[in-house]
Amino acid sequence: MTEPAAAPIGVFDSGMGGLTVLRALRAALPGEDFLYLGDTARLPYGTKSPDTVQRYAVQAARILVERGIKALVVACNTASAVALDALTERYAPLPVFGVVEPGAEAAAALSGRGRVLVLATESTVRGGAYQRALLARRPGLTVLARPCPLLVALAEEGRHAGPLVDLALADYLRGMLPGDRGAVSSVLLGCTHFPVFRPALEAILGRDGATVVDSAETTAAALARRVGGADLPAARGGAGRLSLLATDGAERFRRVGRYFLGEPIPSVELVDL
């Protein structure tokens, strides 16, 4: 059996979007090995029922657990929102991390008594996990949430900037931009795909507009604080290695995934859940 310190950290998502979380994790923990699974055959999770997402999440996590990981990061916001407790219970004592709590923590800390807008998938918005996590930390906040399915589609197409992106963002933020009566003070990116739109979003919000909070970055920071602790030993030196698994479309994963990961993708192993 692999010694815990030398084992990789498992990361899973419904597809390629979670590579934005992996990118942040690798930047925060450059010495760690990562094993990533994208369930591309069953994407999107964001329009499916909580029961289905939970079942898929348990199956996806099982593959990683069977290969020997020392921690699991649920990069998918939709799965974090509905399946985190089920995963934590089923795979205990494996440390399991979701993206919702760290994202909410950072947005609540920044937002005072302001108005926070959560941009996410339909299921994440409907389940209300971000809304609850934000209000639990700051009951004085006004929390708004908008499902943005078009942004997932645009990101998957590799369109991260340009007129279509600006149109979609302007529409999703209608009435909440600086100068509007409903202007928000922060925007929380509650979906794996949305960090790629950060430059376009910040341009629309303007210099004095809302602060953008990226749950990928805050999750990476939360994990980095835990690595090296008693239940999660750190890797022992050397540059971290990366292995990638997908359930469908290895070629597309390599081609489009590089824009989410921010570096070329060497190889992708196809697996069946």
Residues in touch with ligand DGL (CB under 6 A): 13-15, 17, 43-46, 76-78, 121, 124, 152, 191-193
Residue 38 or 209 with smaller CB distance to ligand DGL: 38
Name the residue nearer to ligand DGL (CB basis): 77 or 111: 77
Three-class SS state of 48: coil
Of 76, 120, 155, 201, which is the active-site residue?
A: 76
Cβ closer to ligand DGL: 76 or 235?
76
Pairing outcome for strands 115-120 and 186-189 = parallel
The two structure tokens encoding residue 267: 């190889």
Q: How far apart are CA 242 and CA 10, in angstroms?
A: 10
Active site residue 76: yes
Which of residues 14 and 247 has its CB atom nearest to ligand DGL in the complex?
14
Distance set, CA 139 to CA 72, 81, 133, 154, 180 (Å): 30, 20, 10, 34, 24
Structure tokens at 219: 């999750």
User: How far apart are CB 192 and ligand DGL at their closest, in Å?
Assistant: 4
Supply the minimum distance, in Å, between the C-beta of residue 150 and ligand DGL. 12
The H or E element spanning position 71 is strand 71-74
Give me the least distance between CB of 92 and ligand DGL, in Å please: 24
Minimal distance, residue 5 CB to ligand DGL, in Å: 29
Distance in Å, CB of 242 to ligand DGL, minimum: 19
The reply to whether 148 belongs to the active site is no
Active-site choice (43, 187, 191, 212): 191
CB of 48 to ligand DGL, least distance (A): 8
125 or 204, CB closer to ligand DGL?
125
d(CA 183, CA 178): 5
The residue whose Cβ lies closest to ligand DGL is 46
Give the CA distances from residue 235 to residues 12, 27, 60, 109, in Å, rounded to whole numbers and listed in that order: 20, 15, 24, 31
Nearer to ligand DGL, 7 or 48 (CB): 48
Q: What secondary structure does DSSP assign to 140-165, as a single string? A: T-EEEEEE-HHHHHHHHTT--SSHHH
Q: Could you give phi then psi for residue 48, rounded to 5 degrees?
A: -95, 165
Query: Dihedral through CA 189, CA 192, CA 193, CA 199, nearest 10?
Result: 40
Contact 104, 130 (CB under 8 A): yes
Q: Active-site positions?
A: 76, 191
